[in-house]
Structure 1
């Protein structure tokens, strides 16, 4: 009996490949969202360009480049996830040295070849509300209404195959000045203390969180009653879609994306580096604030004369 051993180059190449998931932090201000768009700066385009430049990937299909989610223009992240396979050992700080300061790799994890970052176990979004007229008790009351499984067809701009989603938890909190960053950065002016709304769920529809936040605010200022919120969830079949305007993307952060059985290892140097970059930009913003504050005061003085 003669045995024939067949050699398949593509299988041999796969055996040399390792699949890695990376957790991405970015400030969304100067990006036109995450997803690639022609002639526009996006997070995904930056990542692909620099991964190619450093020979981690070449052909996107062969490297099986995948993303966890597409954040809108202006939305920030500490936890979005990409994955790809490469023969080269992934070095977080080599990639960060190539990337611009407003986007950095924070952590990595080895994953199986079939891993798809889109299918997460849990996502956490945080929205920051900068208003002093919000009733915290009402915000908590609204949070209880949204928790659980509902039809969120009124909370998305796009028609999708299914609009049923489950909100695992919503936490409302407001840091005090003692808790906030002034103690760590004493040279900064006294900061605003926003209300944090942290929303946890397996997946979210397009614009869902920002539309939810509009409802939170409307109830908290007395513009909408809780009974109206109940009607927006699980509408009867065939009912016209409600027109809920989204709140600004600038105050939304994708905090984390978690997966069953995947443990990310955060790189201490990468996290410290991103912290320094954020601090530098924060100090710059404070200087711009001080300039405008001075000009306002001067104009008031001029009017007084």
Structure 2
């Protein structure tokens, strides 16, 4: 039997998260159903089916990872032809029998902020988060250890001008998003989305940097801070890396997924145009 790791891309909009749940559509359930259907796996225990992370409902991915063993050679595009368009396998790698995707060397999350925020203040906040801290205030669950290390945070404003030139003129009034890329070995549940709430509060002057420091250095027996999570639909699990494992991306699979994303973007563009037209018509009616 060969053990294989697969890198999964998906649009989280129509999924109730990654993890299997009774009577709900999830990414894991879709993957297991189609792998069984194509005779790659049968019994989950015997196939040693494992996942790297459980993203919440609405969260997207370009790099979540699963692994399993099978007597059948893995053919990415055979699986993709069976899978629905909003979930596709992008890359594969042969791995050792004991490989567990949960234990990664590096994870990269990207959160997109659609507000006119002070970039310099965001970067000052990011500098405080870098390094090892107690993230008790940044998770909903009580865990054995809440100490985590943030290796890097990169912040940049995305220019929509290229998209205007590529046939999406109706995006001209859309606020250019700010990309916040966060790198670390592991993250707590809701950690990134709670971090983003603090970033925004700092950027709009609702919170100062001393308060951020206190949140990252909670005193013993101090009650947990009530930080409201930011929206899940603006979060993307960009990549997961492992020491000594190099994934091979399938050109056709990546192009196919990109094409599906472009098609859905075109549909969103049409919806935007319809609503824009209705708003303008209502304004014109009001002026009559």
- Could you tell me the TM-score, scaled by structure 1's length? 0.92
CA–CA separation in structure 2 for the residues paired with 1:108 and 1:211: 32
RMSD over equivalenced CA pairs, Å: 1.0
Superposed displacement of residue 193, structure 1: 1.4
Q: 2:87 aligns with which of 103, 109, 114?
A: 103
Superposed displacement of residue 156, structure 1: 0.1
Aligned to 1:184: 166
Please give the per-residue CA displacement for 1:239-262, whole angstroms capped at 9, x wherever unaligned. 000000000001000000000000
The alignment partner of 1:123 has SS state of strand
CA–CA separation in structure 2 for the residues paired with 1:24 and 1:61: 21
Q: Does 1:205 align with 2:168?
A: no
CA–CA separation in structure 2 for the residues paired with 1:276 and 1:192: 24
Please give the per-residue CA displacement for 1:71-108, whole angstroms capped at 9, x wherever unaligned. 00000000000000000000000000000000000000
CA–CA separation in structure 2 for the residues paired with 1:47 and 1:176: 35
Aligned to 2:198: 215
Q: Does 1:59 align with 2:60?
A: no
CA–CA separation in structure 2 for the residues paired with 1:210 and 1:125: 10
Q: 2:70 aligns with which of 79, 86, 102?
A: 86
The alignment partner of 1:214 has SS state of helix
Contact 2:168 2:269 in 1 (8 A): no
Contact 1:158 1:206 in 2 (8 A): yes
Superposed displacement of residue 238, structure 1: 0.5
The alignment partner of 2:160 has SS state of coil
- Could you tell me the TM-score, scaled by structure 2's length? 0.98
**Any gaps of 5 or more consecutive residues in structure 1?**
1-16
The alignment partner of 2:72 has SS state of coil
Contact 1:22 1:81 in 2 (8 A): yes
Superposed displacement of residue 290, structure 1: 0.7
Q: 1:35 aligns with which of 19, 22, 32?
A: 19
Match runs of 1:129-168 below 5 Å: 129-132=113-116, 134-168=117-151
CA–CA separation in structure 2 for the residues paired with 1:290 and 1:177: 17
The alignment partner of 2:133 has SS state of strand
**Any gaps of 5 or more consecutive residues in structure 2?**
none
Q: Does 1:255 align with 2:238?
A: yes
Aligned length, in residue pairs: 287
Cα 1:49–1:128 shift into 2, 3 Å: same
Please give the per-residue CA displacement for 1:147-203, whole angstroms capped at 9, x wherever unaligned. 00000000000111100000000000012234x433334565435410000000000
Question: Which protein is bigger by CA-based radius of gyration?
Answer: 1
Q: Does 1:281 align with 2:256?
A: no
Out of 289-298 and 205-214, give the one that drifted further: 289-298
Q: Does 1:227 align with 2:227?
A: no
CA–CA separation in structure 2 for the residues paired with 1:188 and 1:92: 35
CA–CA separation in structure 1 for the residues paired with 2:185 and 2:148: 8
The alignment partner of 2:224 has SS state of coil
